Amino acid sequence: MDFVTTIRGSWQLLLSGLGITVAVSLIAIAAGIVIGFVSCMMSLSKISPLRVLAQAYVWVIRGTPMLVQAFIIYFGLPQVIQQFVPGFTLGAFLAAAITLSINAGAYLSEIFRGGINAVDPGQIEASRSLGLSGGRTMRRIILPQAVRITTPSLVNQFIITVKDSSILSIIGLGELVNHAKVYVGGTYQFFATYVWVAVLYLAFISVLMLVSRRIERNLNRDKDSD
Amino acid sequence: MTKILIENVHKTFGTREVLCGIDLAVGVGDVVCVIGPSGSGKSTLLRCVNALEPVTSGRVVVDDIVMTDPKCDLNSARRNIGMVFQSFNLFSHMTVRRNITLAPMDLKKMPAAEANALAAELLAKVGLADRIDAYPRQLSGGQKQRVAIARALAMKPDVMLFDEPTSALDPEMVGEVLTVMKQLALDGMTMIVVTHEMSFAKEVADRVIFMDNGLIVEQGTPQDVFSNPKEPRTQDFLRRVSQAG
Ligand SMILES: Nc1ncnc2c1ncn2[C@@H]1O[C@H](COP(=O)(O)OP(=O)(O)OP(=O)(O)O)[C@@H](O)[C@H]1O
Ligand SMILES: [Mg+2]
């Protein structure tokens, strides 16, 4: 249970794992924002096939464990594609990034939708009465207000995405937990190693929260300057 | 000359008929005040004029543009029709200046400097020149409503629609908003005003419309309607209002 010895022996392994955790999480957050935004716009669309598609996506992703999704994408998908493209393989990192992205995307889609629906309809009527089109009203009035409303839930979802990345150690992604397991396998230093893992997650998520708070404060700067 | 023409307008929500055949013509520079009990369809009628609410049947024409024509370019037509709401609906994430300059800059491609000058001019007109950099939440109700009027005027509309603009205000703030509206009427603006302010209607209206249950029950000069109402429903309504006031 010697923390100093443990970190001396494991820091290279843990830091490289943390690097993968950071990379896959940030990719998933960025891609998830894009996917979530598109899915949200589709779910609010007047074109019903788009709406149904977006609803089905959110329903499937939210209704199944990410572990199962990861298995389907990492083990199952290449098998299907191999029938058309012989020798096709999907690397663990790519499979993990896809799984985490579509997961974050589904939850973010719902958060965005909630934010947009929470905007006072009077704001939209005022905008339309001035002659602004639906699209312009979306960009000028609805989205800026929805972003302010949803920032806390967005940050929450980002944190969940970081933590969820640990599940992907199961498909062999060499992230933080995976590397910790490797180290523990040779040294049996369970307690010290996993405490260090927890510390590293805490550090990364704290940085993420600080950055988010910065952005949130910038968005709301006008609101606080009374 | 007719500025606003409403012909046999019907509006149903689900199975409920809220407007049951409204006919109304408003001339250039006329001020028409609409009074009537809650739920009689006053707001719905006003919202049919700028097509915020699509009519079920009938025709609405503003400045020779048929608002009820499915092919009508509503975004373009609405630029000419200002609307002021009971709940102000100022854009909460924008300064007073931006609230006013948004539409002219976005829709008329007005340069920022010109739009800012316009905002300053309009705010001076409604007595709020010093609040140009404030946010809506920093303003009183009466100030918010005066900014909302300035915002609507920024598009230089020919027609202004007011839906109970003073109903959400504390009594001491009603006057400042009515003063601005009176000035607007004097400047020759064509206005439809839904209001419970009978004294305003008496003083400013060219014509008063009394609505009940989706119909225009009585109309005429303020003199006719207030001093000499013919319909029992109008008499009843006016009696109740004067008791409440
Ligand atoms: N979007 C809607 N969906 C369903 N019913 C509606 C809708 N808008 C209005 N109504 C109904 O239509 C009727 C007339 O409403 P409206 O708002 O026009 O009345 P009003 O005369 O403006 O009343 P108030 O003085 O209370 O503002 C009411 O019974 C109302 O419930
Ligand atoms: Mg009303």
Mean per-residue pLDDT for B119-144? Answer: 96
Ligand 1 atom at minimal distance to the Cα of residue B37 = 25
Which one of B50, B89, B95 has the shortest CB-CB distance to A123? B89
State whether A131 and B76 contact (CB < 8 Å).
yes
Q: B147: closest CA among B78, B100, B87? A: B100
| DSSP string over chain B | -EEEEEEEEEEEETTEEEEEEEEEEEETT-EEEEE--TTSSHHHHHHHHTTSS--SEEEEEETTEETTSTT--HHHHHTTEEEE-TT----TTS-HHHHHHHHHHHHS---HHHHHHHHHHHHHHTT-GGGTT--GGGS-HHHHHHHHHHHHHTT--SEEEEESTTTTS-HHHHHHHHHHHHHHHHTT-EEEEE-S-HHHHHHH-SEEEEEETTEEEEEE-HIIIIIS--SHHHHHHHHHHHHH-
Q: Are A164 and A66 in contact (CB under 8 A)?
A: yes
- Which chain B residue has the Cα nearest residue A145? B93
Q: For position A213, what pLDDT does the model report?
A: 87
What is residue A169's DSSP assignment? G
pLDDT in tens, B29-85: 999 999 999 999 999 999 999 999 999 999 999 999 999 999 999 999 999 999 999
Percent of chain B's residues with pLDDT above 90:
98
What is residue A44's DSSP assignment? T
Q: For position A218, what pLDDT does the model report?
A: 80
Tell me the count of A-B CB pairs closer than 8 A.
67
Confidence of residue A1 (pLDDT cuts 50, 70, 90): low
Give the mutation candidate from B72, B83, B91, B137 for the A interface (greatest A CB count, under 10 A).
Answer: B91
Query: ∠ at Cα A35 (A29, A41), nearest 5°?
Result: 130
Percent of chain B's residues with pLDDT above 70:
100
Token readout for B125 is 């007109």
Which one of A130, A144, A223 has the shortest CB-CB distance to B78? A130
Any chain B CB within 8 A of the CB of A128? Answer: yes
Tell me the CA–centroid distance for residue B38 and ligand 1, in Å: 8
Ligand 1 atom at minimal distance to the Cα of residue B36 = 21
Tell me the CA–centroid distance for residue B163 and ligand 2, in Å: 7
Q: For position A225, what pLDDT does the model report?
A: 38
Q: Are A109 and A40 in contact (CB under 8 A)?
A: yes
Average pLDDT, chain A: 93
Mean per-residue pLDDT for A54-77? Answer: 97
Q: What are phi and psi of A131, to 5 degrees?
A: 105, 5
Cα–Cα dist B137/A148, whole Å: 15
CA distance B186 to chain A (A): 23
Q: A167: closest CA among A82, A76, A77, A73? A: A73
CA distance A165 to chain B (A): 36
Q: What are phi and psi of B7, to 5 degrees?
A: -125, 115
Ligand 1 site residues, Cβ closer than 6 angstroms: B 13, 18, 36, 38-44
Cβ contacts (< 8 Å) between A128 and chain B: which residues?
A: 52, 78
Tell me the CA–centroid distance for residue B148 and ligand 2, in Å: 17
Q: For position B206, what pLDDT does the model report?
A: 96
Q: For position B4, what pLDDT does the model report?
A: 97
ipTM of the complex: 0.94
Cα–Cα dist B69/B152, whole Å: 24
pLDDT in tens, B83-108: 999 999 999 999 999 999 999 999 99
Q: Which ligand has the nearest atom to the CA of B163?
A: 2
For the whole model, what pTM was predicted?
A: 0.88
Q: For position A221, what pLDDT does the model report?
A: 62
Amino acid at B245: G
pLDDT in tens, A166-217: 999 999 999 999 999 999 998 999 999 999 999 999 999 999 999 988 888 8
State whether B102 and A130 contact (CB < 8 Å).
yes
Average pLDDT, chain B: 95
Mean per-residue pLDDT for A32-55? Answer: 96
CA distance A92 to chain B (A): 44
Task: Encode A182-191: b = buried (16+ Cβ within 10 Å), e = exposed.
Answer: bbbeeeebee
Check whether A222 has a pLDDT greater than 80.
Answer: no
Token readout for A224 is 């606080």
Q: Are A32 and A101 in contact (CB under 8 A)?
A: yes
State whether B93 and A148 contact (CB < 8 Å).
yes
Q: Which ligand has the nearest atom to the CA of B22?
A: 1
pLDDT in tens, A95-114: 999 999 999 999 999 999 99
Ligand 1 atom at minimal distance to the Cα of residue B46 = 18
Cα–Cα dist A132/A138, whole Å: 10
Cα–Cα dist A211/B159, whole Å: 48
Residue A86 C-alpha from the chain's centroid: 32
Ligand 1 atom at minimal distance to the Cα of residue B53 = 1
- Which chain A residue has the Cα nearest residue B102? A140
**Sequence-distant (≥ 6) Cβ neighbours of residue A56 within 8 angstroms:** none
Which one of B78, B90, B91 has the shortest CB-CB distance to A131? B78
CB atoms within 10 A of CB A93: 18
Q: For position B173, what pLDDT does the model report?
A: 92
Mean per-residue pLDDT for B165-185? Answer: 95
pLDDT in tens, A110-168: 999 999 999 999 999 999 999 999 999 999 999 999 998 999 999 999 999 999 999 99
- Cα–Cα distances (Å) from B54 to A48, A194, B58, in that order, read 22, 63, 10
Strand partners, A97: none
Q: What are phi and psi of A118, to 5 degrees?
A: -80, -10
Check whether A223 has a pLDDT greater than 50.
Answer: no
State whether A123 and B92 contact (CB < 8 Å).
yes
Q: For position B245, what pLDDT does the model report?
A: 58
CA distance A213 to chain B (A): 19
Ligand 1 atom at minimal distance to the Cα of residue B14 = 4
Backbone torsion region of residue A143, taken as left when φ is above 0, otherwise alpha when ψ lies between -120 and 50, otherwise beta: alpha
In chain A, residues 84-123 whose CB comes closer than 8 Å to chain B: 120, 122-123
Confidence of residue A9 (pLDDT cuts 50, 70, 90): confident
HEC profile of A85-153: CCCCCCCHHHHHHHHHHHHHHHHHHHHHHHHHHCCCHHHHHHHHHCCCCHHHHHHHHHHHHHHHHHHHH
